[in-house]
A = this chain, B = another copy of it.
């Protein structure tokens, strides 16, 4: 059985490698034509996809999936429409392949050119949301890569139906249908085997919970680009505009609390803590945000607020400052200086997105330079850490790694490069 599984996966790997070879020399126009055919085919297959989705939802209910998980699993005409729009947007974006990244000529006459090329074959291992099947496949294809998808077992029917629709679209437009392949084996052993197939896979991108990412990192023999936690902090400096600070933390915490770029920690400079909390704490509590405060903060919160929201005010533990709540919960702490804020963020945060609110440029620059996070903000919300908000047009995730891709990962980050060197007979 295991040998059979290995064999099956190696067939998929070899087919992906062959498809990648073709994609790497496919023109931008041909790729975009294929993408549009994929979008059309996805919409034309909506009945079949929704039927498959119903099977997954019924199985999910039987297996006792939570309402939140069922919700992530659920597809409808609207979500299929969003997938198709995503594909058409990808088709309209500039081609990330063949960009001249650098050129120079040496004294010996050799002309160097560094150009972007596809990575090759990318593995995407993901959990419940079936839209990843389309979103990830499309971005990989746009960047000239073949993709091997391995979704969660709970979405297997939906993923299969979506992948089939995309493959048919690609094939209609003359691209190999093996440019997009879905591993349909439920056995978890499949992930481990894929992780060892470095002769076929150039890169692995796990998208899901910490357990999944750790499994892939532990087993993968090829590079892994991880999308870990966002334990993001907003630091309100002594020179902050307090109403701006309030608006930023409200947005960063409440606009979409379940995502990685939502704020989880609020750091207040001691000199403005009381003044900020008067209005700021009220605004957060009014939104239903539970505040886990250090002792000093708790003492500064007006008694009227404490009696109005007895359930939303708690004393913080050390663990709260290292937690990605992904809910309307915020850890709050008072610090004595921007240096103390930086030290806290460096030791407790996850190097994702952090903010300083201040009117003082020198303090802001210190924070920007010293906080070692993928994105560091001065006077703006953490919520802008997003491929779309960056102007990238799309994203495959937010990398928390420091190699190859850091922060929002879009089409350019799905490419590698090579050097072309043109000479006239030069030797050493």
Contact with B along A236-256 (1 / 0, CB 8 A): 000001001001101110010
**A210 CB-CB contact with B under 8 Å:** no
Q: How far is the CA of A402 from the CA of B122 in the complex (A)?
A: 12
Q: Which residues does chain B contribute within 8 Å of A308, judged by CB atoms?
A: none
Max chain B Cβ within 10 angstroms of own Cβ: one of A117, A250, A383, A420? A420
Contact with B along A265-299 (1 / 0, CB 8 A): 00000000000000000000000000000000000
Query: Given that A119-B402, A407-B419 are known contacts, is A425 also in contact with B247, CB under 8 Å in the complex?
Result: yes
Q: How far is the CA of A379 from the CA of B407 in the complex (A)?
A: 40
Q: How far is the CA of A415 from the CA of B106 in the complex (A)?
A: 24
Is there an interface contact between B380 and A423, defined as CB atoms closer than 8 Å?
A: yes
Q: Which residues does chain B contribute within 8 Å of A383, judged by CB atoms?
A: 427-428
Is there an interface contact between B106 and A391, defined as CB atoms closer than 8 Å?
A: yes
**A63 CB-CB contact with B under 8 Å:** no
Is there an interface contact between A427 and B202, defined as CB atoms closer than 8 Å?
A: no
Is there an interface contact between B391 and A25, defined as CB atoms closer than 8 Å?
A: no
Q: How many of A's residues come within 8 Å of B, CB to CB?
A: 66
Query: Given that A25-B370, A406-B416 are known contacts, is A377 also in contact with B120, CB under 8 Å in the complex?
Result: no
Q: How far is the CA of A251 from the CA of B428 in the complex (A)?
A: 7
Contact with B along A107-129 (1 / 0, CB 8 A): 00010100001011000000000
Measuring CB to CB, which residues of chain A are less than 8 angstroms from any residue of chain B?
21, 24-25, 104, 106, 110, 112, 117, 119-120, 198, 202-203, 217-218, 221, 223-225, 241, 244, 247-248, 250-252, 255, 346, 364, 368-370, 372-381, 383-384, 389-391, 401-404, 406-407, 416-428
